[in-house]
């Protein structure tokens, strides 16, 4: 089966024909015939015959299919009509990409958002860990300073071993 650039659930804009400029959601695709049905686009009247006694024959207005080449996919991220590019993501899956670089497939858009959220949470966690580390390091730093001072005193008062011992004990 051929893979169309347009998939069910996409928002597309019609670029040619009587419905040019109309936007709608893709209701169904027929890859073997290169045709799609878009919500509110190419409304055709069909005569529907009554099948049961209670039913009345009527004219039903319904979307007719249009050629897939008559539409462009509207990117859910940047909102612009785009030519569809294809790429393969880290998981080896085919992803349709907008010229802006965002994924056109909604599931991948969602994934991207999730990944972004996860990434920012990781950054937060790292920052929190860094902060904790810094707080933990603070008394050590002070102790080191104290020791440095003590050593200075020690060198100065090297002639007085008792005093030096005392200050060392204080560390
Ligand atoms: Zn885009």
CA of 109 to the centre of ligand 1 (A): 11
Q: Supply the range of the domain harboring residue 146.
A: 116-169
In a domain, 42, yes or no: yes
Least confident among 34-38, 74-78, 163-167 = 163-167
What is the tens place of the pLDDT at every residue in 121-159? 888 888 888 888 887 777 666 667 666 666 666 655 555
CA of 75 to the centre of ligand 1 (A): 4
DSSP string, 53-117: TT---EEEEEEPEEEGGGEEEEPTTT--EE--EEEE-TTS-EEEE-TTS-BSSHHHHHHHHHHHH
CA of 96 to the centre of ligand 1 (A): 11
Least confident among 17-31, 76-90, 100-114 = 100-114
CA of 88 to the centre of ligand 1 (A): 17
What is the tens place of the pLDDT at every residue in 54-88? 888 888 899 999 999 999 999 999 999 999 999 99
CB atoms closer than 10 angstroms to residue 68: 19
CA of 151 to the centre of ligand 1 (A): 64
Give the count of domains, the chain: 2
CA of 33 to the centre of ligand 1 (A): 27
CA of 72 to the centre of ligand 1 (A): 12
CA of 108 to the centre of ligand 1 (A): 13
**Which helix (DSSP H) or strand (DSSP E) does residue 26 occupy?**
strand 23-30
In a domain, 95, yes or no: no
Q: Are residues 125 and 65 in the same domain?
A: no
CA of 83 to the centre of ligand 1 (A): 10
Give the predicted TM-score (pTM) of the model. Answer: 0.60
Q: Are residues 31 and 78 in the same domain?
A: yes
pLDDT beyond 90 at 165? no
* CATH code assigned at 15: 2.30.30.30
């Amino acid at each position: 089966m051929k893979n169309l650039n347009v998939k069910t659930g996409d928002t597309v804009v019609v670029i040619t024909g009587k419905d040019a400029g109309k936007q709608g959601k893709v209701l169904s695709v027929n890859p073997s015939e290169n045709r799609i049905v878009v919500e509110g686009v190419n409304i055709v009247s069909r005569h529907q015959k009554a099948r049961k006694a209670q039913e009345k024959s009527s004219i039903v207005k319904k979307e007719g299919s249009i050629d897939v080449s008559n539409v462009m996919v509207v990117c859910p991220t940047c909102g612009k009509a785009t030519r569809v590019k294809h790429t393969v993501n880290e998981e080896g899956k085919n992803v349709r990409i907008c010229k802006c670089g965002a994924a056109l497939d909604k599931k991948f858009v969602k994934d991207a958002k999730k990944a972004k959220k996860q990434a920012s949470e990781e950054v937060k966690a790292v920052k929190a860990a860094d902060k904790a580390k810094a707080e933990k390091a603070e008394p050590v730093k002070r102790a080191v300073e104290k020791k440095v001072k003590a050593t200075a005193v020690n060198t100065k008062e090297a002639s007085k071993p008792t005093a030096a011992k005392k200050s060392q004990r204080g560390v």
